[in-house]
Structure 1
Amino acid sequence: MSTKSTGTTTAQSTLPILYSLQNCPYAIRARLAILLAQQTVRIRAITMKNKPDEMIQASPKATVPVLILGNEASADSEPQYTVMDESLDIMLWALNLNDPENVLYSHDPTALTEMLRIIQCNDDEFKPNLERYKRAKRFHGDNLEDCRLACEPFVQDLEQRLSKHDFFMGDTPSLLDYALLPFIRQFSRVNKPVFNQPEYASLHRWLSHQLQSRLFQRSMVLYPLWLDEREVCLFG
C-alpha cells in the first residue's frame, strides 16, 4: 500500500522505517518476515548508486536492509531510535512480535538453533560461492562448473531435506525457508537448464511453490524511489 505524503498522520510517523532495495536477497528476506508477522513499516526504496543520507547516518555501513525503530530528529529534538541493519535481526524482530504461522517452530525447542546454524552457513559460505558462480556465468568464465560444484554441498543438503518433508524443517514453512528463498532463487537463475535437472527436483518444486505464493508476490511489489519525492509508502 502506498500513501501519498500530503498529510502524514501521527500514526504513520511512529511506524518503523525500512530502507530496502528491490532485488537484494537480504532485503527480500526482511520484507518476507515483516509480511509474515503482519507488521507495517514505512518503506523507503533506494538504489545503491544513490543512498539517502538519512540511511547512511543511521547505519554507516550503508547496505540494506536497514530498519529504524523510534523517532527521527525534529527541529527541536535529538533523534531517539534503534537501528537494525542485519536482515536476520529484522526477521527475528518481526517474528518475535507476531508469528501467526509459527515459522519459528516454537513447538520444537531445538529448531531455532538448527535454523540459525544453517542460515549462518548460507550467509558465510554459500553466498560467497554463489557470487562466484554468478560472476563466472556473467563473464563467461571457464570456471563456471567449478563454481557450481562449490555450491553443491549446501544445495544438496537442502535437496535431501526436501526428500523427507515439503519444507526444510518439516511439513510447514519455517524461518529457514524464507531466509534461504532469495538465495536459492538467485542460484536457480544462474544456469536454468542445469537447475531443471533431476538432481534438483525437490528444490525445483519447493522454489516454484514459494515464488508463486501470494506472500512472495507481495514482497516484490515495486515502490517509488524514496529520494525522488520522499513519498510515504506503507508496507505490510
Structure 2
Amino acid sequence: MSFPTLYSFRRCPYAMRARLGILLSEQSVNLREIVLKHKPEAMLVASPKGTVPVLILPDASVIEESIEIMCWALMQHDPLNLLLSEAPQQQEIAKALIHTNDHSFKPWLDKYKYADRHPEHSEQYYRQQAEVFIAQLESILAKHSQLMGDKVSIADYAIFPFIRQFASVDKFWFDASHYTHLKKWLKFHIESDAFTQIMKKYPTWLESGKSFEFGKHIAV
C-alpha cells in the first residue's frame, strides 16, 4: 500500500497542526522530517513555496496548507468528530477562530517572537496586539473547557500549537498572566498523549534517506 508523503519540521506549529490531524484521523503517512536550511529538492518541486507542511498524495496531488491537510485527513476518518459534522453553525465559528489565528494573531506573534527584527515597536507592543486574540480565547474558555464546548474540536488542535509558541516567548510573563482558563486549556493539550506522539523526534530525511511511517498505528 502506498501512503501519502508528509514533509514536516518538528517545531513548526503549522507542521504540528498537520501531524495532529493525521494522527487523530488514524491515517498513515511516510514522514520526512526536513532541515529548513536544506530543503529537499523533491519537496520544492512539489511545492515551490518551500514551507512545511507539504502532503503529497499517492496520485501525486499536493496539499500544502496545514489546515487543508487537517481537513483532508479528518474527512477520511474522524472518530472524535473534530470536524463538527452535525453542527454547521459551530463549524463556521471554528473556521472563523482558525482564520483569526492564522491571519490576525500569527503576524503579531511573529513580531512579538522576533521583536529585534521589527524595531518600529517594542516587544511589549507586539505582545499587546497579540493579546487581542488571547483575550478572546480566554473569554471563550471561561465558559467551557474547549473552544467549541466541553469536547475537543478541530479549532483546539489547529490553534493550540500557536498559543504554545506565544507562551514560550516570555514564559515568566505568561505564567504570571491573568489568562487562567487559557493556561489550563494549553496545559491540557501540551500534556496530551496526542501532542506527545506528534512531537516524537525522528532522524532528518535527506534525498537518499529514509521515511518513517507515522499515524494510524500510534496509540492516541
- TM-score, with structure 1 as normaliser: 0.87
Whether the 8 Å CA contact 1:64–1:85 is kept in 2: the answer is yes
Change (3 A) 1:138 1:186: farther
Q: Which moved more, 1:49-58 or 1:112-121?
A: 112-121
Q: How does 1:190-205 map to 2 (within 5 A)?
A: 190-205=169-184
- Aligned residue among 9, 12, 30 for 1:42: 30
Task: Give unpaired runs (5+ residues) of structure 1.
Answer: 1-10, 71-79
- Aligned residue among 136, 156, 161 for 1:177: 156
Between the aligned partners of 1:202 and 1:166, the Cα distance in structure 2 is 8
Q: Identify the residue that residue 20 of structure 2 maps to in structure 1.
A: 32
State the secondary structure of the residue aligned to 1:196. helix
Q: How does 1:105-116 map to 2 (within 5 A)?
A: 105-116=84-95
- Aligned residue among 43, 53, 66 for 2:54: 66
- TM-score, with structure 2 as normaliser: 0.93
Alignment of 1:220 onto 2:199: yes
Between the aligned partners of 1:101 and 1:138, the Cα distance in structure 2 is 41
Between the aligned partners of 2:168 and 2:123, the Cα distance in structure 1 is 14
Between the aligned partners of 1:154 and 1:213, the Cα distance in structure 2 is 23
Count of equivalent residues: 215
Q: Which moved more, 1:195-204 or 1:53-62?
A: 195-204
Task: Give unpaired runs (5+ residues) of structure 2.
Answer: 216-220
Quick one: which amino acid aligns to residue 99 of structure 2? Q
Between the aligned partners of 1:172 and 1:41, the Cα distance in structure 2 is 26
State the secondary structure of the residue aligned to 1:99. coil
- Aligned residue among 122, 129, 152 for 2:101: 122
Q: Identify the residue that residue 161 of structure 1 maps to in structure 2.
A: 140
Moved over 4 A (4+): 137-142
Structure 1 or 2, whichever has the larger Rg, is: 1
Deviation, 1:142, is 6.9
State the secondary structure of the residue aligned to 2:57. strand
Between the aligned partners of 2:191 and 2:120, the Cα distance in structure 1 is 32
